[in-house]
Amino acid sequence: MIGVVIPAHNEGENLAACLAAVACAAAHPDLRGESVYVVVVLDSCTDDSENVALAHGVGILRVQARNVGLARATGASQLIASGARWLAFTDADTMVARDWLAAQVGLGADAVCGVVSVDDWSAHTAAVRERYERLYQDRDDHRHIHGANFGVSTQAYLRAGGFSALAVSEDVALVEALESTGARIAWSALPRVATSARTDPRAAGGFGDYLRSLAAPAWKPEAVG
């Protein structure tokens, strides 16, 4: 069984599209009918995110933490207990490609770090988009780490100790732990997702704040990661 974890904090406006895309990926023929179980981890939600998740027939877990690392770890624990051999992670404001899961498991690695594209640049200036695209490496052997496009075998995840309860960079910490255990990591452009460039990101210090940093008047290429 393949498990998919989606943390959500007040994502009612975006969650339906995310879940529809994940359902499409779960039905990809290259998965050869393997079951896919999706769990949305509702973290301190006060909107209709739970109703959206239930309407799509996925599993839900509730936490009160405002901590994406803890949310991802909670979902992973539930899926491992249910027998998942592979764990895939994305975000509620993200649309995965139809072959997203098939591409991850098909690489034969212990873990997969995929790439992201931005679905709509209208909230940002042309300069922000140009700066982002100048720096971003949309190719194999990149070194980008995105919780919105990450997969790992259950065995490798457990050896590395899983996600830490970090409010930001929980994905980076896990990849570093995986590397320390000797895990085989595929830095691949095959698994693809399109994510939001909104100006009200849910996680401070995450992708949204990185995009906002590109708009700074004193921006310099060497000043951003």
The CATH number linked to 36 is 3.90.550.10
**Residue 224 — pLDDT band, cuts 50, 70, 90?**
very low
Say what the pLDDT of residue 156 is.
Answer: 98
Distance, in Å, from the CA atom of 145 to the CA atom of 166, rounded to the nearest integer, reads: 15
Q: Is residue 16 part of a domain?
A: yes
Q: 153: how many CB neighbours lie within 10 A of its CB? A: 20
Q: Is residue 216 part of a domain?
A: no
Global pTM reads 0.92
**Residue 204 — pLDDT band, cuts 50, 70, 90?**
low
Q: Is residue 221 part of a domain?
A: no
Maximum CA extent, the chain? 52
Mean pLDDT of the chain: 93
Residue 50 structural domain: 2-210
Query: Between vectors from CA 147 to CA 225 and to CA 103, what angle results, nearest 5°?
Result: 110
Number of domains in the chain: 1
Q: Is residue 107 part of a domain?
A: yes
Reported residue count of the chain is 225
Residue 52 has pLDDT above 70, yes or no: yes
Q: Is residue 25 part of a domain?
A: yes
Q: Which residues of 174-207 are buried (b: 16+ CB within 10 A; e: fewer)?
A: bbebbeeeebebbbbebbbbbbbbbeebbbeebb
Of residues 160 and 219, the one with the higher pLDDT is 160
Stretch 60-83: mean pLDDT:
98
Distance, in Å, from the CA atom of 172 to the CA atom of 155, rounded to the nearest integer, reads: 18
Q: Is residue 225 part of a domain?
A: no
Residue 187 has pLDDT above 90, yes or no: yes
Torsion of CA 162, 166, 167, 172, to 10 degrees: -70
Which phi and psi angles does 68 have, rounded to 5°? -70, -30
**For residues 107 and 188, is the Cβ–Cβ distance under 8 A?**
yes
Terminus-to-terminus CA distance in the chain, angstroms? 35
13 - beta bridge partners? none
Q: Which residues contact 16 (CB under 8 A, 6 or more apart)?
A: 52, 55, 56
Say what the pLDDT of residue 169 is.
Answer: 94
Q: Is residue 59 part of a domain?
A: yes
**For residues 102 and 30, is the Cβ–Cβ distance under 8 A?**
yes
Q: Is residue 224 part of a domain?
A: no
Nearest Cα neighbor of 1 from 80, 60, 56, 77 is: 80
Q: C-alpha distances in angstroms, 15 versus 101, 133, 196, 217?
A: 18, 26, 12, 34
User: Residues 27-30: contacts with CB within 8 Å, 24+ apart?
Assistant: 28/98, 28/99, 28/101, 28/102, 30/99, 30/102, 30/106
Q: At what angle do helices 170-180 and 68-81 cross, to 10 degrees?
A: 50
